[in-house]
Structure 1
Amino acid sequence: MEFRDLKHQYQVLKDKMDKAVTEVMTDCNFISGKQVKVLETELASYVGTTHCITCANGTDALSMMLMAWNIGPGDAVFVPDFTFFSTGEVVSFEGATPVFVDVNPDTYNMDPSSLEAAILAVEQEGLLKPKVVIPVDLFGLPADYEAINKIAKSHSLKVLEDGAQGFGGMCHGKRACSFGDAATTSFFPAKPLGCYGDGGAIFTNDDETAALLESLRVHGKGTFKYDNVRIGWNSRLDTLQAAVLLVKFQAFKEYELEDINKAALWYNDALEGIFKIPVIPEGYNSSWAQYTIQVESEDQRTKIQASLKEQGIPTMVYYPKPMHRQKAFEGLKQYVPCPITERLCQTVLSLPLHPYMQEGDCHIVANAIGKSF
């Protein structure tokens, strides 16, 4: 069994995929080919923003947006303690200070009350200037942007939505990557919409910001390639990856998003009452980057993983260590406690999930977990 069955997906999309990739190689337009602009237009339309600026990966997308906002030394940027390293990494990369806040035990997303406590603690101390909040749409579910945006506005902070795992998710009719002052996503192969390598994108409604980002991603270019008006990056989405994404995006819209939600419901039916299953609040839809349950303890998780591995079933732990305990962040002040994150790091377990799973596959996993007790 595959954790995320990209092999099956390719077989389903093979004819269209091979044709799309062959076209790029035939035209030999590997950098900034026409497929890149077509993809950007389609993604912006789908999300509901004015602009989509693609780049080399999701981490670059976050860094470039912080750079566009002139975030740097002396600035505080608030990020969840329970998330992938890059969300905090980009803050330090720009010279600013990440401030870690706790998450909701049901949705795994940033806890607004912990966020506000952290902002107040930083303001009271007076050493850093609060500038940005980076909520993460973890495991496919948009964060609580109604509450987060309200808090951010009251403290004059910008909101940068990290939608790397959330693309396709929705909240009250709006799509992920449209909730903040700007948003980013990742096209890493295992993401809800992934390419065959690395890729990322930034979404914004601001014309000036979009123009700045288009300059930054190509060495700070001005009116033409050799007119460099600022220090920038080399962070472009390859035309080959854009071609791959255009094929995958059609499947994503037509049936994959619907089918992965069906698979998640099959899991719910099989596992409810046995473990704490994912919670999708009313009015929300998830794109199910992961299906994550909570077990009783780290010891129980280890036993379940070992048993499932023996039965040929892969599992993953996202994430085994809080951000504030990463060695790279050693020495940073912890402004608020994060007990939920500490517990989740010991008890979460993600199960195989993808749009091509059948109901029987979900029952095989559920029955295998039963045998592990």
Structure 2
Amino acid sequence: MPVAALLVAAGKGLRAGGGEPKQYRLVNGRPVLAHALLPFLADPSIGRIGVVIGDGDEGRYADAVAGLDSSRLSAPTLGGTTRQESVRRGLLALSRQGFEGIVLVHDAARPFVSPAQIAAAVGRLGGSELAAIPALPVTDTVKRTDASGHVAETPPRDQLVSVQTPQAFRFGPLLKAHEAAQAAQLHGFTDDAALMEWAGHPVATFPGDPANIKLTHAEDFLRAASRSGKVLVTRVGTGYDVHAFGPGDHVWLGGIRIGHDHGVVAHSDGDVALHALTDALLGALADGDIGTHFPPSDPQWRGAASARFLAFAADRVRERGGRIDHLDLTIVCEAPKVGPHRDAIRAEIAAVAGVPVGKVAIKATTSERMGFTGRREGLAALATATIRLPEEE
């Protein structure tokens, strides 16, 4: 029986951080979507492979599949606002190609599906089975709560499973179930097995794979990076920046505009705090400095918001499979006073770097009227960044 695979990659996936959909973030140098596609591309029993992507992600998709064997890849299908609608659109695309047979529906956020899982999914649809899903025993006790947050029921644990993808279906019944749900304006199904249940079809199970994890949160990407066998090691970088005062009525510190009787002389917005933090992250990565990536001789950075520089450096950490553990900043100036703005600065830095605010520390001090800062000629910042990266060979 012909077999097709449909990978769902249309979600925004921003809970994992990184500033872009998680299916396009890099794990060990390769986009998550590419990792997810490879086992299906390597299976000769799968005749065609479709991918459902988000509107506006065409460029990201093209970059993710560049270099892969595209002979069985159909043109990507644009998804909808829900997973259910995205799958329906992907099925309709297969239908327009005249497909009939078995379809494997897989979440692109599961990059570690094994060839054995794919074979088990197809093999379980023997005889009269219309649907089969991989299932894992639940090891924790599960409670059902009511609207007030009180426990309403404790289901027997031996009757509960958690489910994964790929889920296998006979194509015709699955498409009909999707169309029926669409006609009934039912849009709350979180997986295709639930939709088949609603349509009255029995759903079989087969053993899942604990290694077939779904990437949802930032910690999941650390687990994914560790699958390469590389240990995450701690790296520390430092940064320093200084700017002289000049004409103006404000300064930028940590992405916050603070009124002052002077401005600063700078090519960009002159935010010494974000410049120092950017250099600290780049130093921990051994990846040059802020001038390497954003040279002051380049006119495109004239007056640029320094948040762009910090976001760039933070993304470089994540692209290497790492995480930011802590950002520590000291601002040195006689004025303006930093204390009243401390909380706003911490929140802004945390948002730009994509870390919890509890991982950002800010201190302010003067130089006791000594030196250029003591003479109120300018201000300075010192920063330390602590990150973890996969160990290099």
Give TM-score, length-normalised by structure 2: 0.25
Structure number with greater CO (CA < 8 Å, separation at least 6) is 1
Bigger helix fraction: 1
Give TM-score, length-normalised by structure 1: 0.26
